[in-house]
Amino acid sequence: MAFVKNLFDKNFIEYASYVIRDRAIPDLEDGLKPVQRRIMHTLFRMDDGRFQKVANVVGECMKYHPHGDASIGAALVVLANKGIFIERQGNFGNMFTGDEASASRYIECRVRPVAKDFLVTNPEVTHYIPNYDGRSSEPEVYRAKIPVVLIIGAEGIAVGMSTKILPYNLKEVLEAEIKALKGEDFQIYPDVATGGLIDVSNYNDGNGKIVSRAKLDLTDEKKIVITELPVDTNARELKNSIDEAFKSGKLKISSINDFTTDHCHIEIKLPRGVYASEVEKSLYAYTDCEKSISCQMLVIKDNMPVAMTATEIIKYYAKKLTGIIKDELEFEKRRLTEELHLRTLERIFIEERIYKKIELMKTAEDVNKAVKKGFVPFKAELIQDVSDEDVERLLKIPIRRISLFDINKNKELVSAMNKQLKEINKKLKHLTDCAIAYLSEMLQKFAPEELLRHTQISQFTAIDVKQIVKRDTPLRYDDKGYIGTGVNGGTEILKVTPFDRIFFIRHSGIYTVCDVPEKLFVDTGMWYCNYADKNVISAELFTVIYRDPKTKFCYIKKFRVSGWIMNRDYMIVPDGMEVLHVDTRQSFTFTLKYEKKPRMKITKEDFDANDYEEKTLKANGIRLSTREVIELKVEDADTQQKLLNL
């Protein structure tokens, strides 16, 4: 058994780790899930400036992603609809109407040039690893220069954890990164393409919740037009939720028409006597016109799932950007230095006719020594020592190139490279300024409409359905002992809503609190029924008169009910006792009739409930008499029954 348990534990941990790291949660380094990263890698490899069939891209991507074409195609459509990295051609679906994309063989895409500016593809800077079958290589993670995870958002469910990151506005994110580089304070909030309103009072910088609303046009009091959608909602879903609310009687509308295309336009016409201002709150309460969305910024950082805030992610990327720029500059500096070294060797080799010194050499070793010896007088001009590889490269220069060598052109190239090296050295000393300049330049590469904010930040209180619903459903109780909104006939006790709870005391002395039932058997008699509001119930002073069936002695107890657990039964009298009467009046009189016995002169006796003190619910009652009681008569008992709503 221990072996089997260990085997299951090991396999489960491996599976959980795989789902968390390789499927559901994006990596902080580039903001992409593995399938998205492989799609981008495929598009970079296939990029020739022309559109590619999505089916072709999916097929190529299967070389890197071992999970089938369906998951790749769906992920590509989602990523393309973000509009940042991929340019689309054809029907990629409609985020406003909810229409799905066409089949992958009918639509085309290509990578946007700006994607290479954001994601570093240079193998000298980005680490590449073998793909799943070892035939090719793919990036372990891209080194992204901007917080992609915030710009495109993410949603995923893993084993024991999940992530929900709403997308942010591109311009606001880049400006926030610039402020972070300058050491200034900043604050950013989500922005979705479908617009709408969001209240971010409880957003907690990405790890709280937002309340999102549709934007309504109420200018015509007989018509409501929905012009913008809430977060994570499309027009079809919104219309269906309104239809359901209408069918269940929660909304009063005449008709609804959906004219949504590339923007939301849903018209709701109202019946006679109903006005837009009256329906607005009901739309927010009963339909998807208002949604509460919980968010959690869970990302993979250093191979571990970590919850971060939007501010932390921006600051992380601001610091990382300077590191990436430094690595790119140093790589470019090495490349230029190497190129300058080769150009200098080539010029001296040809200009000083060092190649003439190898004519009499008979072995490769002698040739190598002769070339190196020929450069000794010019050592001061060299950037670095002459290596064997340098000699091999010089010996491969064709005669035609030697004869056509242009000294002036070579000098111009060398001068240009020296100028570039000076510029690189200058930038290396001012990395923060370079990072700010880079981000400012990136903002210029997008069209103005791509940088506009769509979602409006606002403040409003989420509509509580319980506050606006009307108590207009009758709660009935019949002579068979059934109570509920679905009971036919009987006596109407209360007007209720589906959100109410009721408190009732059965004839047996058991009290219970439950949700409003459709039809529930309680007892053939009830003493009391009311809304289960603790303020209401605790204010009631109950008086119970009960009898011991064995001794036939009667007891009285006055008490209040201050608490309860839902759907649990409680007794108001000790076990085995018989409840004779329950009253809520402060003062009333009652008569006990005693069993006749020899020499007994008093056969009945009057009592006043006001003469007895209040006790706790669990306390025993006070014995009224030492005589055996056969009958109880309460003054104005019929009036009390009306007070109890029965």
DSSP symbol at 432? H
* Residues paired with 162 in a beta bridge: 157
Nearest CA to 627 out of 594, 579, 597, 598 is that of 594
- Find tokens 């008499």 and name the residue: 625
Give the list of residues 6+ apart from residue 618 with CB closer than 8 angstroms, or none. none
Q: Buried b vs exposed e over 285-297: b needs ≥16 C-beta within 10 Å?
A: bbbbbbbebebbb
| 106 catalytic per annotation | yes
Q: Buried b vs exposed e over 316-338: b needs ≥16 C-beta within 10 Å?
A: bbbebbbebbebbbeebbeebee
Nearest CA to 479 out of 465, 491, 494 is that of 491
User: Pairing state of beta strands 209-213 and 197-199?
Assistant: antiparallel
Cα–Cα distance, 175 to 166 (Å, whole number): 18
User: What tokens were used for 57?
Assistant: 């891209």
User: Pairing state of beta strands 197-199 and 456-458?
Assistant: parallel
Catalytic, out of 15, 18, 64, 106: 106
Cα–Cα distance, 209 to 294 (Å, whole number): 4
How many residues are there in the chain?
646
Cα–Cα distance, 314 to 317 (Å, whole number): 5
- Find tokens 């055996």 and name the residue: 628
Q: 87 φ, ψ to 5°?
A: -95, 135
Cα–Cα distance, 47 to 604 (Å, whole number): 105
DSSP symbol at 385? P
Helix axes 170-182, 431-443, angle to 10 degrees: 160
For residue 54, the Cα-to-chain-centroid distance in whole angstroms is: 28
DSSP symbol at 97? T
C-beta separation of 135 from 14 below 8 A: no
Cα–Cα distance, 494 to 440 (Å, whole number): 66
Nearest CA to 189 out of 207, 171, 168, 208 is that of 168
C-beta separation of 234 from 264 below 8 A: no
C-beta separation of 137 from 130 below 8 A: yes
DSSP symbol at 542? E
CA distances from 189 to 157, 453, 530, 573 (A): 23, 10, 46, 58
Q: 519 in helix, strand or coil?
A: coil
Cα–Cα distance, 407 to 308 (Å, whole number): 58
C-beta separation of 10 from 4 below 8 A: no
Q: What residues are annotated to the active site?
A: 106
